[in-house]
Amino acid sequence: MQKPTEAAYFVHISDSHIGPTAVYSRHGHQSQPCAERAVEIINCLPIAPDFVMHTGDVVTEPDVRSYERAAEIFGRLNVPIYFATGNHDRARDIQRYLPMGPRQPLSTNLDVLSYAFEVKGYRFLVLDARGPDEIDPHGVLPEAQLDMLRTEATMAGPPLSVFLHFPVLPMNSIWMDAYMLVINGEQLHKALLPARNRLRGVFYGHIHQSMQTVRDGIVYTAVPSLFSQFFAWPNDTIVREDPDYLPGFNFVHLLPDQTIIHQHTFPRP
């Protein structure tokens, strides 16, 4: 395995759900003020990240006004930002309205947002698991992307991090496992196994809470929503909002020999 010689840092955000107006509200909270506050905090961190990764649901409805608002807000960041497609997003809209950092496209289909990029010797892979509307809010990874993932996830190569919107493995929560998963997540997990010794993590959103899952030496990490969080206890059968769980993001340290994931929360404006 090729080992980097310096640290890389990134901020992981997700599920901002920007709406068409500044006062748009969802789950009892206004989303835009929280996204704006997060950008302010990220810009003032004592260590500047190399980039920000947004793992989807940038907006709630894929309309022009919402994406224009999102572009203006996240355009205030002092570092490059990248996006994954959420179930509320459209890949074409992200590519049309939201500027991103330099990257290598891994699909020629404008309806698929899959790409790779490298920073300081670390490799990052973004998957698009948004499925057809009839399976929403589940995701599915098409066979073409599974084949690409098998090509990427080999034993040899630089340290690798993978981003997508949806959880890959079951979460031991009745409602989340019934509605929120990548439906071929087991295939996705198996495709990653050859790279487990260089895989720094699989990072996702969608579930509106912090959660870590470890299987076969692979760490899957969910980040809180930028504005509103869900419960996911084992006996939960319906979606429930957690009014006391604050908005948040993760600051990820990629070091030559280890990875540190540090969760930050902040009061709603």
Tens of pLDDT, residues 166-221: 999 999 999 999 999 999 999 999 999 999 999 999 999 999 999 999 999 999 99
Tens of pLDDT, residues 55-91: 999 999 999 999 999 999 999 999 999 999 999 999 9
State mean pLDDT over 49-55. 99
In a domain, 2, yes or no: no
In a domain, 56, yes or no: yes
In a domain, 1, yes or no: no
User: Is residue 159 within 8 Å of 186, Cβ to Cβ?
Assistant: no
Residue 28 has what pLDDT?
86
State mean pLDDT over 93-116. 97
Residue 4 has what pLDDT?
93
> Hey, what amino acid is at 110?
L
In a domain, 253, yes or no: yes
State mean pLDDT over 1-29. 93
Q: Bigger pLDDT: 247 or 27?
A: 247
For the full predicted model, state whether its pTM sits above 0.85: yes
What are the structure tokens assigned to 184, written together? 């071929």
In a domain, 113, yes or no: yes
In a domain, 31, yes or no: yes
What range does the domain containing 173 cover? Answer: 8-265
What are the structure tokens assigned to 250, written together? 């993760």
Residue 244 has what pLDDT?
85
In a domain, 161, yes or no: yes
CATH code of 179's domain: 3.60.21.10
Give the Å distances, CA to CA, from 159 to 7, 197, 214, 221, 247. 12, 9, 18, 16, 29
Tens of pLDDT, residues 148-165: 999 999 999 999 999 999
In a domain, 45, yes or no: yes
C-alpha to C-alpha distance for 146 and 262, rounded to whole angstroms: 30
Mean pLDDT of the chain: 96
How many domains does one find in the chain?
Answer: 1
Give the Å distances, CA to CA, from 160 to 59, 200, 201, 237, 262. 28, 6, 8, 35, 19
Who's near 109: CB < 8 A, 6+ residues apart?
A: none
Residue 98: which of 161, 169, 35 has the closest Cα? 35
Residue 243 has what pLDDT?
85
Percent of the chain at pLDDT exceeding 90: 97
Residue 30, Cβ neighbours under 10 Å: how many?
A: 18
Angle at Cα 66 formed by Cα 60 and Cα 70, nearest 5°? 100
Give the Å distances, CA to CA, from 128 to 30, 115, 182, 206, 211. 27, 9, 11, 13, 21
1, pLDDT greater than 70:
no
